[in-house]
Amino acid sequence: MTARPYELSEAVQPVAHGYIRDIQMTPGPHPRKYPFHVPAVTYLAQNGSLPLAEGVTFLVGENGSGKSTILEAIAVAAGMNPEGGSQNYRFATRSSESPLSDHLILRWGIDKPRSRFFLRAESYYNVATETERLGPDQVAAMGGVSAHHRSHGESFLDLMVHRFHRNGLYLLDEPEAALSPQGCFAAMSRLSDLVDHGCQFVIATHSPLLLAMPGASIYEIADDGAISLVSYDDALPVRLTRDFLADPDRFLRHLL
């Protein structure tokens, strides 16, 4: 089943009353260089606002579809460090963020989040280093043990348990990169608890496990950049994983 842009059954409609209600592009012409030629960005510019759920909004799509680019732009526009961290992290190991945030409008709700954090899997090592540099108090806020002294997955879960507080806004870019299946289940449990305590999440992911989060809204970015709300069963990572597990030999014969 293919959903129309931003439309689906009431069961998966986002409740746009979170800290960020929706995102949209600034009106008028935009630069022609990266990332404005990325199909998902072009689609967003041409099709109005993208509502965000009150609890969890997932962005899914193939590599290069633009989901991480959009997530990074939301984080920067919301005042967070492009390499990750909270609004209080201001380090730069290698500046590689796109200028998309300068052309993104966030429509905020009435309430403002008490805490913000951008978890970016590919640069979390740099966040861990900066946390150590900021001193013992900052390490204590992350659970008391430096992320460099924990496995990648353990440090992600430490972050969610000790640094993510109630009434917070949290953006996660492919958190499953560090997590085992059991770790994904632990992360989902923590997500549920935090949503019950007034948190809003926007998560770019390929994980069919995380996508099973009850009540979440799932936006899928197609090859042509079209952004559509889909159900869990129709999400690309879920369909591909189910098809593979149903007949792995058929997939392997085709691939190899």
The better pLDDT of the pair 252, 147 is held by 252
* 5 domain residue, yes or no: no
pLDDT digits (tens, 9 = 90+) for 127-141: 555 555 555 655 555
pLDDT digits (tens, 9 = 90+) for 91-132: 444 555 678 989 999 999 999 999 898 887 654 545 555 555
- Mean pLDDT for the stretch of residues 209-226: 95
Instruction: State residue 185's pLDDT score.
Output: 95
pLDDT score of 149 more than 80: no
- Give the global pTM: 0.84
pLDDT score of 162 more than 70: yes
Both tokens assigned to 234: 């129709």
- What is the residue range of 67's domain? 10-255
* 44 domain residue, yes or no: yes
Instruction: State residue 256's pLDDT score.
Output: 86
Q: How many CA atoms lie within 13 A of 110 on its CB side?
A: 1
* 2 domain residue, yes or no: no
* 4 domain residue, yes or no: no
Helix axis angle for 67-77 and 39-46, nearest 10°, is 60
Task: With cut-offs at 50, 70 and 90, classify the pLDDT of residue 196.
Answer: very high
